Amino acid sequence: MKDSFINVWCGEVGLSGQRRVDLAGAAHLVLVDGVRHLQPEEAVFEAMLSGWETQQRSRRLAAATIEPRLRLVRRFVGFADAYPWRWTPADLEEWSVSLLSAPESVAYSTVRTYQQAVAMFCDYLVDGRYGWAPACEERFGTHPVQICHEWNTVAHTAEFEGRPGNRPLTRDELQALFDHADEQVARAGELGRKGWVATFRDAALLKVIYAWGLRRQEAARLDVADFGANPAAPELGGFGVCTVRWGKASKGGPPRRRDVCTVMPWAAEALAEYLGEVRPRYGCDDHPALWLTERGGRVSLSHINERFAAYRDALGLPAELGPHCLRHSYVTHLVEDGFDPLFVQQQVGHAWASTTALYTGVSTDFKNRALRAALDRAFTLDEGRQR
């Protein structure tokens, strides 16, 4: 056959001898037979997206993972001005170039993520078990192909591809940030503004992100019950350990859970003050979320970004800094304070020590002290040998 694919269905049994199965997301389960659409191409494309969503949900993937992928595929269709069965590798290449060369170009790691979404969608379409190739061949005289290959996609060759703004804050910068946040609380309170409750919440939120080395989503998804006592630190009361239930997941896996020991008593005091005096003012005692909004929901990731940016700009800090810098600061400051590297790695939930090392940006003073100590030991040892 000129155009062959894994399975060309002929009734219940394909020409390859494999029987059609009712897999979640299969074409024959989402395409409506016997219906003539005014826009058949649009109808088939929407069925493809529906089937792919179903297939991903059957793999227990979260909506937060699926929905961005669907949006990216729609975005690519708009750029290519063609539906999946007419895509070519050149379409992907042109899209990638446009992303990297735009006035506000995206990072290489982001382009790779976009390409991976398109590649996974194509893998789903060309998999003969789902029957999209024969369905498209029958309707449009052509079928989808995989357009993402090693020679036209961004390779993951560097260990670290983070933006330059993802650096640790100096201790002075960090103190200035927290002082500014506290000043906003005091100012709102003096003026009798209702917004002081939210301002206090946000000041406590930023401190918690730093003091427990959290990612934004990990912090936003915290519940009140996620903090508990640590027998090894009874003086911290009910704030000796933080259970992170929404840690960054491995590919295709569920969120990673970890317990983070409290190492900064001042942060436990700030959180206790928020829970005792501020959170009850929201009137949502039955809601499990730690960080509530005026409407009784959880704070969003975008709100965390906006609040951090407002304080950063007010202090004149570099515009490229973001909330993730607080996590970098946590790792760096623990290392500078002499915590065991393995302990730090486990605290932040990194599978590999090399990843934790990439988060570490120790200060020049710390490096100079370490160098001086090493040289003093070397010279002392050398003098002892000479004697």
Catalytic member of 2, 36, 251, 295: 251
3-class DSSP state of 292: strand
Residue 251 annotated to the active site: yes
Residue 194 annotated to the active site: no
Residue 359 annotated to the active site: yes
Residue 139 annotated to the active site: no
Measured between alpha carbons, how far is 4 from 65 in angstroms, rounded to an integer?
32
231: which DSSP letter? T
Residue 215 annotated to the active site: yes
Catalytic member of 167, 307, 312, 327: 327
87: which DSSP letter? -
Catalytic member of 274, 282, 330, 359: 359
Helix (H) / strand (E) element for 303: namely helix 301-315
Measured between alpha carbons, how far is 86 from 136 in angstroms, rounded to an integer?
10
Burial of 195 (0-12, 13-18, 19+ CB in 10 A): middle
Place of tokens 């933006």: 163
Catalytic member of 69, 143, 215, 216: 215
Catalytic member of 324, 328, 330, 333: 324
327 C-beta neighbours (distance < 10 Å), count: 22
- Residue in 117, 123, 119, 128 with CA at minimum distance from that of residue 26: 128
**Cβ-contact 211, 178 below 8 angstroms:** no
Measured between alpha carbons, how far is 348 from 345 in angstroms, rounded to an integer?
6
**Cβ-contact 226, 245 below 8 angstroms:** yes
Residue ranges in 8-161 assigned as alpha helix (H): 27-30, 40-58, 63-80, 89-101, 108-126, 132-140
**Cβ-contact 202, 220 below 8 angstroms:** no
Active site residues: 215, 251, 324, 327, 350, 359
